[in-house]
A and B are shown apart, each in its own frame.
Chain A
Amino acid sequence: QVTLRESGPALVKPTQTLTLTCSFSGFSIRTSGMCVSWIRQPPGKALEWLARIDWDDDKYYSTSLKTRLTISKDTSKHQVLLTMTNLDPVDTATYYCARIFCSSTNCYHDAFDIWGQGTMVTVSS
């Protein structure tokens, strides 16, 4: 059974750096085609894709947030990390990690097939 679980601080102060951890099981990110993405959802609003890391360590970022995001993985711990710098109240959201199994070129046609439960992050002083 494939599962993902997000963890991180519930409250962060403005200008601080946020680090979130996605712990997964039931698959290996060493497997060719396996990718993990981060997606967020502000309260009452739509989903927004943030970043993706692939089995071969390729990384992709939302163009609007690229300068503030870093995605990485610890293969031995079955974890994917997301760091976001210079937090602002507008970054208040539930942050999800989700798996993509790439069956198409560059994964452009592939869906987020398994999602974590999400972790709520509030940015406030």
Chain B
Amino acid sequence: QSVLTQPPSVSGAPGQRVTISCTGTSSNIGADYDVHWYQQLPGTAPKLLIYGNNNRPSGVPDRFSGSKSGTSASLAISGLQAEDEADYYCQSYDSSLSGYVFGTGTKVTVL
């Protein structure tokens, strides 16, 4: 039972820009806990993509960017590439649950 809500799927043509929303509540994103994003390629483990709302780990292309406002966060992928086809998850901390929470996940399809 995911606490953070994401659209089930988004799609775009190569080169286009897509965004994925992550909607939370006042006990997680709205409580000013950082949001992180993970990319899960088919059949593999999740990989950290964005940390601390808008920071990229070393090696992550600058095509990926994150933002946060109020009780929501977003991941943007610009210059969409075939290799970006994957599931994407947001994650934060929830004070009511006293634990880490993940989003419902979004499948990105490159048309």
Contacts and interface: CB of A to CB of B under 8 A. Distances in A.
B24 interface: no
B104 A46 contact: yes
A116 interface: yes
A108 B33 contact: yes
Contacts of A61: 99
B57 interface: yes
Query: Taking chain A's interface residues, is the majority helix, strand, or loop, or is none over half, making it mixed?
Result: loop
B89 interface: yes
A111 B102 CA distance: 11
A104 B48 CA distance: 18
B48 A112 contact: yes
B36 A111 contact: yes
Interface of B: 1-2, 33-34, 36, 38, 44-48, 51-52, 57, 89, 91, 93, 97-105
Given A46-B2, A48-B102, 8 more contacts: A47-B91, A49-B102, A64-B1, A96-B46, A109-B34, A113-B48, A115-B45, A115-B48
